[in-house]
Amino acid sequence: MKYDAVVIGAGMSGLAAGIRLAMFDKKVVILEKHSIPGGLNSYYQRRNFDKGGIRQFDVGLHALTNFIKKGEKGKPFSKLLKQLRISYEDFKLCPQSYSKILFPEMELKFSNDFELLVTEVHEKFPHQIDQFMELVDKVKSFNELDLNLQYSSSRETLREILSDEMLIEMLLCPLLIYGSAWEDDMDFAQFVIMFKSLYFEGFSRPEGGVRTIISLLMKKFEELDGEIRFKTAVSQILTGSHGEAVGVKAGELEIMAPVILSSIGYPETVKLTPELSVRPRVGAMTFLESIFVFDKKIPLEENDSTIIFYNNAPKYSYRPATHYFDASSAVVCFPDNYEPLVRDGEGTVRITYMANYEQWKGLPKTQYDEMKEQVGESALSLMKKLNPTFDGKLLFKDIFSPTTIERYTSHLSGTVYGSIDKTRDGRTPVKNLFIIGTDQGFLGIVGSMLSGISMANLHGLMNEI
Amino acid sequence: MADVRQIVIDIISDIAPDEDVTNLDDKVSLREQLDLDSMDFLDIVMELRKRHKVEVPQEDYPKLATLESCVSYLSPKFA
């Protein structure tokens, strides 16, 4: 079988890349190992034993970053809409109420209006407001999309501007846990991407959650006559006589194409390519998530925030847990607290902890289940601590671990933010083989889609196929 | 003779549907008048190829800066 391009993986970046190529009449096929699309941002369902019917859950997406209002121009999300030719209304974005960074004895709120964060910093760190505004200017003028940037430490750059360690920690906390493959630090270019995506632009959620995004992308790709094959795992990337990629092997299939875009991760791609001599390192950051469904929603008087970035330690630690999971910090997402707020019906809470892949991987089944119970109890007590008078009855809980992530996404070590070695222009030492998605270095769901778009543009459209 | 000016405007209004293309000044750069970035210019080039089989090599992208330069650069290709 011969194509103009093969895309490996039907996650956000793979689907977006497929759309761009199909839009300009390239014969493109997306190969997906799993039986459904979405990759790290997907969905599942569980039967509701109490009442019958089915409950649906999102994996990944707590919040869509890069919120814009209709008609806003020149922002990542507006670029994405234009490039994919999807209308703003189709995403049915519901904005967050506000979110907060909750540290011992200190709290910073932020919302889709950046002024709230400025006011909060002004009130709580009055001695740092001028330096904070200097940081804001630096972020504004930084060109994070330059594909030739080298790694530089965000922490060091922040310390050159800000002197209050608590403020540095608090600002870093959401940006690290929503995107950093590095421990306790992140590349400054990625810091800038995240600062703009979270603090300047903010959060929203499509009305139907992650399914809305995936079905928009699938529909668009199908309208353009793109081809997608599920349950089709690539076992090898085939190379030609000059060491260049010429196609892929998937089971019995050999699919030939002069351009291969791989969204499965850089180290994961290397494993399929004997010709690739680089050894990008697998990131260590992996997570556990507990999902709770209660028989009623948390009253707004008790908690009306959308996401709480919680930390109870003197210093925020962003690194693998030393003992299975780290309950000293968490991301607590209240998916019901997006506008418009509906106050009747069941209430859902999602609590994410940092984990330790090696320890979870080594656990025998019975201990694995026991450890998951411990995670659930810990998360439930955090839920109670944050909502002390809430008396909702727990109807359902589910917990996924680093090994669950590894099983469903095939990301080595259950990583969510990929390798710590990114390839910003998407190139690999093997000609015609390109990396798209998280390991190309753009972050979040919007970042992943923009990665697929820009890499398809650069390597699939601008270079004549 | 193809109306190259209109062809370019039609493409722009398809790739950037929120833009008002009714009162464009032919001598002023499109980027100054509209919210177009390099990705959008790529789309203009790709649409010229897809719809009209007209090729614009990468080194010639700057020749699409204004409507006037579009017309003078593209007209021979439509002849």
Domain ranges for chain B: 4-17+27-78
Q: Which of B11, B13, B46, B48 would you mutate first to test chain A, the one with the most A CBs within 10 A?
A: B46
Contacts 24+ apart (CB under 8 A), A191-194: A191/A154, A191/A157, A192/A139, A192/A142, A192/A144, A193/A144, A193/A442, A193/A443, A193/A447, A194/A65, A194/A443, A194/A444
Query: Which amino acid belongs to residue A169?
Result: E
For residue A77, report the phi and psi dihedrals to the nearest 5 degrees.
-70, -35
CB A283 within 8 A of CB A181: yes
Give the N- to C-terminal CA distance of chain B in Å, as an integer: 7
CA–CA gap between residue A455 and residue A3 (Å, rounded): 18
Closest-CA residue of A relative to B18 is A71
CA–CA gap between residue A146 and residue A149 (Å, rounded): 6
Q: Which of A73, A143, A225 would you mutate first to test chain B, the one with the most B CBs within 10 A?
A: A73
CB A335 within 8 A of CB A348: yes
Enter the DSSP assignment of B50: H
pLDDT in the model for residue A465: 42
- Residue B39 contacts A where some CB pair is shorter than 8 Å: yes
Instruction: Provide the H-helix boundaries in chain B.
Output: 4-15, 30-33, 38-52, 67-78
Say if residue A49's pLDDT is above 70.
no
pLDDT digits (tens, 9 = 90+) for A403-462: 999 998 999 999 999 999 999 899 999 999 999 999 998 888 999 999 999 999 999 998
DSSP A317-376: --S--SSSEEEEEEEEE-TT-BSSP--SS-EEEEEEEEE-HHHHHT--HHHHHHHHHHHH
Of B15, B49, B58, the CB nearest to A82: B15
- Helices A114-124 and A129-141, interaxial angle, to 10°? 150
Say if residue B19's pLDDT is above 90.
no
- Residue B43 contacts A where some CB pair is shorter than 8 Å: yes
pTM reported for the whole predicted model: 0.94
Cβ contacts of B43 on chain A, cutoff 8 Å = 82-83
pLDDT in the model for residue A294: 95
- The Cα of A22 is separated from the nearest Cα of chain B by a number of Å equal to 12
pLDDT in the model for residue A220: 97
- Please count the residue pairs, one from chain A and one from chain B, whose beta carbons lie less than 8 angstroms apart: 30
For residue B57, report the phi and psi dihedrals to the nearest 5 degrees.
-65, 155
pLDDT digits (tens, 9 = 90+) for A82-116: 999 999 999 999 999 999 999 999 999 999 999 99
CA–CA gap between residue A114 and residue A295 (Å, rounded): 34
Higher pLDDT, A207 or A145: A207
- The Cα of A465 is separated from the nearest Cα of chain B by a number of Å equal to 13
Grade residue A29 by pLDDT with cuts at 50, 70 and 90: very high
Query: Which amino acid belongs to residue A257?
Result: A
CB A203 within 8 A of CB A112: yes
- The Cα of A81 is separated from the nearest Cα of chain B by a number of Å equal to 9
- What percent of chain B shows pLDDT beyond 90? 78
ipTM of the complex: 0.92
Cβ contacts of A71 on chain B, cutoff 8 Å = 18
Q: Which of A25, A82, A89 would you mutate first to test chain B, the one with the most B CBs within 10 A?
A: A82
- Residue A51 contacts B where some CB pair is shorter than 8 Å: no
Say if residue A464's pLDDT is above 70.
no
pLDDT digits (tens, 9 = 90+) for A261-283: 999 999 999 999 998 999 999 99
- What percent of chain A shows pLDDT beyond 70? 99
- Residue A79 contacts B where some CB pair is shorter than 8 Å: yes
User: How high does pLDDT run on average in chain B?
Assistant: 92
- Residue B42 contacts A where some CB pair is shorter than 8 Å: yes
Instruction: Identify the burial level of A281 via C-beta atoms within 10 angstroms of its C-beta, where 0-12 means exposed, 13-18 middle and 19 or more buried.
Output: exposed
Higher pLDDT, A148 or A327: A327
Token pair for residue A188?
A: 């400054």
CA dist A329 to A275, A353, A373, Å? 42, 7, 18
Tell me: domain B4-17+27-78, CATH 1.10.1200.10, correct? yes
CA–CA gap between residue A441 and residue A179 (Å, rounded): 10
pLDDT in the model for residue B56: 93
Catalytic site residue from B26, B37, B40, B43: B37
Query: Which has the closest alpha carbon to A165: A148, A180, A184?
Result: A184
Q: Do A79 and B15 touch (CB under 8 A)?
A: no
Say if residue A356's pLDDT is above 60.
yes
- Residue-range domains of chain A with CATH: 5-45+51-58+209-282+420-462 (3.50.50.60), 112-198 (no CATH), 284-409 (no CATH)
Query: Which has the closest alpha carbon to A228: A438, A436, A33, A44?
Result: A33
CB A174 within 8 A of CB A63: no
CB B75 within 8 A of CB B56: no
β-strand pairing of A260-262 with A5-8: parallel
CB A440 within 8 A of CB A423: yes
Instruction: Identify the burial level of B54 via C-beta atoms within 10 angstroms of its C-beta, where 0-12 means exposed, 13-18 middle and 19 or more buried.
Output: middle
- Residue A83 contacts B where some CB pair is shorter than 8 Å: yes
Query: Which has the closest alpha carbon to A435: A1, A7, A3?
Result: A7
Of B15, B42, B50, the CB nearest to A457: B42
B43 included as an active-site residue: no
β-strand pairing of A347-355 with A287-294: antiparallel
- The Cα of B70 is separated from the nearest Cα of chain A by a number of Å equal to 19
CA–CA gap between residue A104 and residue A301 (Å, rounded): 22
